[in-house]
């Protein structure tokens, strides 16, 4: 079996709801986010996932990802990994895209980066480290992390530059699966929110 990587974005927070860039600020889950994390867990413990026996689980150490992991029922199996932390937004931490555009018209994080934070090259290197780990053994992996780092991992899994991540949105508490098609890295599913329906 070729290894797959399952990507779980953390549940809703006040900052993700308002569109604020939430990098290293440790913002807690909202009640909506906790509920979504439990629903995600229920889905991962039903067919076809069946609790993902044998999967290796890692989580960002930030509380919104770690709590999502725990509420989904994978806390005891998870290893905390700093590589899965969100992009360090530097001077743009806590700002919305509109607020940034007001001072820097035309700005796009995937092309222009952020001042006083992580560079595009640094984020690419972290995403590449996750991809290399996921492909390093004959087992699936499950990660709980954040919107921009998970989108970065998606782009790099496909062998594309970081800028491609601008084209693959990712909602809170979503589930995505990266795998293989005809021997090439592929997206099996992306931004799946089916567990939140109803």
22 annotated ligand binder: yes
Q: In sequence order, what DSSP letters do the residues of 155-169 get, joined into one string?
A: HHHTT--GGGGGGS-
Q: Is the distance from CB of 13 to CB of 149 less than 8 angstroms?
A: no
How far is Cα 160 from Cα 171, in angstroms, rounded to an integer?
21
184 annotated ligand binder: no
Q: Active site residue: 56, 67, 86, 93, which one? A: 86
> Tokens at residue 83, please?
């590589």
Q: Active site residue: 10, 21, 146, 195, which one? A: 10
23 annotated ligand binder: yes
**How close are the terminal C-alpha atoms of the chain, in Å?**
34
86 annotated ligand binder: yes
Q: Is the distance from CB of 80 to CB of 99 less than 8 angstroms?
A: no
Please say if 86 is a catalytic residue: yes
How far is Cα 179 from Cα 134, in angstroms, rounded to an integer?
10
26 annotated ligand binder: no
Please say if 146 is a catalytic residue: no
87 annotated ligand binder: yes
Q: What are phi and psi of 40, to 5 degrees?
A: -60, -45
How far is Cα 180 from Cα 135, in angstroms, rounded to an integer?
11
Residues acting as catalytic residues: 10, 86
Binding residues for substrate: 22-23, 64, 86-89
Binding residues: 22-23, 64, 86-89
């Amino acid at each position: 079996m070729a290894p797959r990587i399952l990507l779980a974005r953390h549940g809703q927070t006040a900052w993700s709801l308002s569109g604020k860039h939430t990098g290293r600020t440790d913002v807690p889950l909202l009640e909506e986010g906790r509920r979504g994390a439990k629903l995600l867990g229920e889905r991962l413990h039903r067919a076809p996932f069946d609790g993902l026996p044998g999967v290796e689980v890692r989580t960002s150490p930030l509380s919104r990802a770690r709590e999502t992991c725990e509420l989904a029922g994978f806390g005891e199996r998870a290893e905390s990994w700093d590589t899965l932390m969100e992009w360090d937004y530097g001077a743009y931490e806590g700002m919305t895209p509109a607020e940034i555009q007001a001072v820097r018209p035309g700005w796009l994080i995937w092309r222009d980066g952020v001042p006083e934070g992580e560079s595009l090259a640094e984020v690419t290197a972290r995403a590449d480290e996750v991809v290399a780990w996921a492909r390093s053994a004959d087992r699936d992996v499950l990660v709980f992390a954040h919107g921009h780092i998970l989108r970065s991992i998606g782009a790099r899994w496909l062998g594309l530059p970081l800028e491609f991540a601008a084209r693959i949105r990712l909602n809170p508490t979503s589930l995505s699966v990266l795998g293989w098609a005809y021997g090439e890295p592929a997206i099996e599913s992306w931004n799946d929110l089916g567990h939140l329906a109803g």
